[in-house]
Chain A
Amino acid sequence: MTETAVRFLAEIQVSLKPTVNDPEGTTIAGALGNLGFDTVQSVRAGRYFQVMLEASDAVTAEEHVKQMCERLLANPVIETYSFKVTALEPA
């Protein structure tokens, strides 16, 4: 990387699309109900990733993270993703 590269932390969330059944989430919701949390209406399970990367600027970092999501981290057939990219202090 060039000397002007900045370190970024990408926090990525991947979850099943609303149209896809989530048996794991449904089971967790049931368990919460059994514990007495009768306020719980539903649960959707998902995945959370922290990716450290270097990029020249935030826009470039976001573009890289978007491609990571679309090519590998999420399967667009069944999942959606969202992420937040934060610049870190230089080491």
Chain B
Amino acid sequence: MRFAIVRFPGTWSDRDCYRVLHDVLGQEASILWHRETDLSGYDAVVLPGGFSYGDYLRCGAIARFSPVMDSVVSFAEAGKPVIGICNGFQVLCESHLLPGALILNDSLQFRCEWTHLRRDGGDTPWASAIPAGDVIRIPISHGDGNYFAEPGTLDELERDSRVIFRYCDEHGDVTAEANPNGSQRNIAGIINRRGNVLGMMPHPERAGEDIVGGTDGNRIWTSLIEAGLAAVR
């Protein structure tokens, strides 16, 4: 597959995404400066983590108006796969491709640590190879990852099976202790209505090789790659 990895001023995980997608998983991948607007040569778009525009105003609020974002919105609305990781998730929320917002961690701390995530929810090409109930181990690294939405929006997300990852303990139990940032209902990742857009705070690209402590992040990338291959067959 051909992945477009978008780099905004202040993005920091673009190289990690490239390393995993290209070097580890053997996919085509390009890092795109945020002033690019042509996504026609790509099968999937990655909005990586970081601190776009220094997190000024609100996380992701300025990046949302970068030239590339109109193309990303069109790409997503065409049903093509888009993933926003950490700051990328914040950009997707600011762009209204996903509901809710990410606010300051309830601990007020920047949290950089391994978390366990339980696969919940419905169909998405981003997690098609991860059965419901499976627990994967992926690190977080953020100060503003506290997922907030109004109760009605949360109920709608639950009803439509759009909560894809929840913070849990190693056994898969969703507990307050396993919630690293105060996110409502332990939400770590959600999808849009069509399921082609996934936003998540944890960093799958930082769990792509044994030397960094685990490879569970690759299950997200390979889900999409296998789903893409199945669609072509």
Q: Interface residues, chain A, CB within 8 Å of chain B?
A: 16, 19-21, 23-24, 27, 72-73, 75, 77-78
Contact = CB atoms under 8 A, between A and B. Distances in A.
Contact of A78 (B57, B65, B103, B108): B103
Contacts of B93: 77
Contacts of B146: 21, 23
Interface residues of B, number: 20
Interface in B62-108: 65, 93-94, 99-101, 103-108
25 contacts: A19-B150, A20-B148, A21-B103, A21-B106, A21-B182, A23-B104, A23-B107, A23-B146, A23-B182, A24-B104, A24-B108, A27-B108, A72-B65, A73-B57, A75-B61, A75-B101, A77-B93, A77-B99, A77-B100, A77-B101, A77-B148, A77-B150, A78-B101, A78-B103, A78-B148
B94 A23 contact: no
A21 B93 CA distance: 18
Contacts of A77: 93, 99-101, 148-150
B106 A75 contact: no
Contact of B94 (A21, A27, A73, A75): A75
